[in-house]
Every structure is written in C-alpha cells, then in structure tokens.
Amino acid sequence: MNGPDVRNFEGEKSLEEQDAYVSLTYDPLDAQKQMARVKSAKAGAVVLFAGCTRDSFNQKTVTHLSYSTYAPLALKTLQSICRQIHQEHALVSIAVTHRLGRVDIGDESILIAVSAPHRKAAWLAGEECLEKVKAKVEIWKEEWFEDGGVWRSNRDGEEGFPVVQPNDARG
C-alpha cells in the first residue's frame, strides 16, 4: 500500500430506517447480504448495482483505489439520499453500502440494492441513487497508479490532484 491505512472504526457503521439501510465499511462487500436487505414479498423487482475498481484510467494502469470519509456526515448524507429516492420512486426498500480504505482491482467499492413493485422504478432509482452518491456524499477517493496517486472527486472522468506523501520531495 502506498499510503497509511487510517481506519476510523472497525467493522461496519450503519444507519437503518424501516425501508432504508446505509452503511460504510472497510471490509469486502457482500452482494447477497445487500440484496437480502431489500427483498420483500411486496417487491416484483430487485436491482443490484456493484461499482468495481477497474484496471485503468485515461490509458494509465491503476493499481488500486483508497477511499476515506468523515463517517457521521457521510452516513447522514447517504440516509438523506435514500429517503429522497425511496419516496420519489415509491420503492419497497433501498440499501447503500460504500467501502472505505484500499479497494483492489475487481473489488466492489459500492453496492446499491433497490426493491420496487415493478422493474422500471427499481432500475431508475438505482441509477439516480448512484449519481447522487457520487455528487453529494462526503467520500474522497485516491486513485493509485504505478507512478503515484491522485486525489479524485468521486465523479467519472474528472482529473485529479497528485497525492503528496509526508516525505515526498514535491511537498
């Protein structure tokens, strides 16, 4: 690992309401567990989105990602997004879990599970939820390459700023 592994907590931190579950964890994500959180006899559709770490960005080899956050604030923002999406799309249930710390190539960094009476609402709600999480949640991403890392907003395609280590000559 290039940078220090700074964990603010162990296990999973979560907020749960009747039909909305949000959490942050340093542990590998579990798609089956996430889907089980939203399954219901009232739901005719369950949609699961898994955001995975890809091996390249702008033709550069990515070695891994590292996510950090201020958990109390990020959980509240996630909860607010889920409440809004749940209401706007008349969902049965929604669950969002974001991984923190190092996330290797091919591993999941976010799981969004949505259940709804019909598939169209579930598909639309899942995509809208992802876009709102990327735009609003206080989670920061370091993208690491073979020649160093960059801080990047959690948005597709945006350029980043070099990560400067404490003993880095550039700092």
143 labeled part of a ligand binding site: yes
- Quick check: is 167 in a domain? no
- Quick check: is 30 in a domain? yes
- Quick check: is 10 in a domain? no
**How many domains are there within the chain?**
1
Measured CA distances, 155 to 20, 81, 84, 160, 171 (Å): 24, 17, 21, 10, 26
Q: How far apart are CA 97 and CA 24, in angstroms?
A: 6
- Quick check: is 143 in a domain? yes
- Quick check: is 98 in a domain? yes
Q: Tell me the pLDDT of the chain averaged across its residues.
A: 89
Segment among 75-79, 128-132, 165-169 with least mean pLDDT? 165-169
pLDDT, tens digit, for every residue of 99-139?
Answer: 999 999 999 999 999 999 999 999 999 999 999 999 999 99
Crossing angle of helices 71-88 and 119-136, in 10° steps, is 150
Measured CA distances, 43 to 2, 34, 39, 64 (Å): 44, 15, 7, 36
- Quick check: is 7 in a domain? no
76 labeled part of a ligand binding site: no
Q: Map tokens 């964990």 to a residue.
A: 7
Task: Supply the CATH number for residue 135's domain.
Answer: 3.90.1170.40
Q: Specify the pTM.
A: 0.86
The residue type of 8 is N
- Quick check: is 38 in a domain? yes
131 labeled part of a ligand binding site: no
- Quick check: is 72 in a domain? yes
118 labeled part of a ligand binding site: yes
Q: Map tokens 């019909």 to a residue.
A: 118
Boundaries of domain holding 130: 15-160
pLDDT of 53 reads 95
